[in-house]
A = this chain, B = another copy of it.
């Protein structure tokens, strides 16, 4: 059986494993004080064009979101996200567990509308009882979104402008950043200038685990490390994260893996289009949402794994097929062959 259920079905990119092997018995200090971590940070500063960036390595997405958000909010503040935002739905209340409300806006193909954001903020401060309400203290986006869509440069600029007007930071969840960049004309450097903090997702782009939080202008809040520790988000063997990101940011591997994921997704898209299978929405990245009939699902049964997102009134299902850095042409070909029946 081949699986397109997600982009974390395999282990790590082979170069990462080799590097772990090579460095295995070198003695290095813990908690990210090792030389691999230092080197990874330097390479990320170069790749993002942010020579002053503060960088921290954490293990996974939920942990990263809850640590970053907690580090930027006062106790009386909440974070603004779309209703389908990862923090609003799939983190078991990690944000609320650190005391903060997720203030939701409607989603449009997974994206936040700049206009709706501005209206909400204006309405908030014009409400005579705003002091009795959770104060919007930051904005959270994901790039690409949970639906695989990507914000345009103009959309990010507008949202960032609104955040500046209201003196709140913009945080971008880049769990799949490489796939987003591969599907857009934005460079990583440009991207880094369009927000106040973001993370570069490793887990879904070839690492065993790991996310790199970047405060692009050296703007990390004081004592971020201590808060990271408090969130259980510091690895004793920080080298594991350092080595992985050092590898991912050597010879542009990270961006290259992103391109591979998008290229294979495009090929997979062709497979569906050729068979007149419609899509729930147009996604330019590694997650695709074909709408399958029960007959089609029966054909795939036991041969191809994928996720079911929703059941439509006519019994067809919105499905998610994800490619990744590890997807092979052979797997796409097999999918195509199976669907031929």
> Which listed segment binds B: A125-133, A284-292, A293-301?
A125-133
**Is A105 part of the contact surface with B, judged by Cβ < 8 Å?**
no
- Nearest B residue (CB) for A326: B25
- Contacts of A225 on B, CB cut-off 8 Å? 131
**Is A338 part of the contact surface with B, judged by Cβ < 8 Å?**
no
- Nearest B residue (CB) for A90: B132
**Residue pair A97, B62 in contact (C-beta under 8 Å):** no
- Nearest B residue (CB) for A236: B8
**Residue pair A98, B101 in contact (C-beta under 8 Å):** no
Q: How large is the interface on A (under 10, 10 to 19, 20 to 34, 35 or more residues)?
A: 35 or more
**Is A134 part of the contact surface with B, judged by Cβ < 8 Å?**
yes
**Is A114 part of the contact surface with B, judged by Cβ < 8 Å?**
no
- Contacts of A203 on B, CB cut-off 8 Å? 236-237
**Is A247 part of the contact surface with B, judged by Cβ < 8 Å?**
no
Interface centre among A66, A78, A227 (most CB of B within 10 A): A227
- Contacts of A307 on B, CB cut-off 8 Å? 128
**Is A28 part of the contact surface with B, judged by Cβ < 8 Å?**
yes
Complex-state Cα separation, A125 to B220, whole angstroms: 21
- Contacts of A31 on B, CB cut-off 8 Å? 132
Question: Can you list 16 A-B contacts with CB-CB less than 8 angstroms, sorted by A residue number?
Answer: A6-B30, A10-B26, A10-B27, A20-B20, A27-B305, A60-B232, A62-B232, A62-B234, A63-B233, A90-B129, A93-B99, A93-B133, A96-B96, A98-B99, A208-B240, A209-B240
